[in-house]
Amino acid sequence: MGDELLVELTDSTAVVTLNRPHARNALNDSLRRDLRTALTGLEQDPSVAVVVLTGADPAFCAGLDLKELARAPGSLGGGFDTDAELRFPIPPMTKPVIGAINGAAITGGFELALGCDFLVASEEARFADTHARVGIMPGWGLTVQLADAVGLRRARELSATGNFIDADTALEWGLVNHVVAHPALMAFARDLAADIAGNDRDGVAHVLGTYAEQAAGRLGEASRTEIRRSAEWLSSRDTTDLDRKRRAVTERGRDQL
């Protein structure tokens, strides 16, 4: 891995850190590829029982790198398994992935968080679906997984307004499992990982696989619809003003919370 993605293995827990703090950990092409490669490798590593995914402060992930996307719209496919029927930033895994949300999780970063098995949030975490504000479409399962997490009406509101919600609201709505003080976030996530690692690993994998199979049956067709509509939308859009819109979203987020 390059310097933009850090992987630390302690006991049976792997901590994966998005490390582009100057860009609020925005997912450029190389980071998306490195993330998928790292997670695939950890899935295959018998010494790893649990993965914790977080970001270098101050943000968890600001989503796709819109500067890069404006220059090269075709880069959006980077980091995906193009043979997979459904394409998400986190590959299929039998090992649980805990999202340790240390700051803002916005748009594609929100989708990345939703791809984790469950979430622990710092008090400084906040969430927003700003796809409509920027003029792009979700393509990593947000319209499916967000509605599954918080309910259809709340999901519609978040996507239509682009408004930010704070950590306490995310807890109230069932989006995150726990909210903790910012300095305690990683220790709390590691403790949860240790609780999981102390169980029978095959048993954990089997029960999580059962959840995943049920979710695929419920949500698979909806995810395919999102991917198709996202590709149609992107192919019809002028992407040259994406970075200007990104800056406007950032300023609006500062004003809201």
All structural domains of the chain with their residue ranges: 5-183
Q: How far apart, in Å, do the first and last CA atoms of the chain sit? A: 34
Q: Residue 253: its pLDDT value, please?
A: 52
Q: Residue 222: its pLDDT value, please?
A: 63
Q: Residue 74: its pLDDT value, please?
A: 56
Q: Residue 112: its pLDDT value, please?
A: 96
- Give the C-alpha separation, 169 to 186, whole Å: 21
Task: Work out the mean pLDDT of the chain and round it to a whole number.
Answer: 86
Could you read off the pLDDT of 146-174 as tens digits, one per residue? Answer: 999 999 999 999 999 999 999 999 999 99
Q: Residue 200: its pLDDT value, please?
A: 97
Which residue ranges in the chain fall short of pLDDT 50? 77-87
Give me the percent of the chain exceeding a pLDDT of 90. Answer: 63
> Domain spanning 5-183: which superfamily?
2-enoyl-CoA Hydratase; Chain A, domain 1 (3.90.226.10)
Q: Residue 136: its pLDDT value, please?
A: 79
Q: Residue 82: its pLDDT value, please?
A: 40
Helices assigned H by DSSP within 173-241: 185-197, 201-235
Residue 152's Cβ-count burial label (10 Å; 0-12, 13-18, 19+) is: exposed
- The three-class DSSP label of residue 110 is helix
Residue pair 98/116 in contact by the 8 Å Cβ criterion: yes
Q: Residue 85: its pLDDT value, please?
A: 40
Identity of the amino acid at 213: E
Q: How far is CA 115 from CA 12, 89, 98, 110, in A?
A: 21, 8, 10, 9
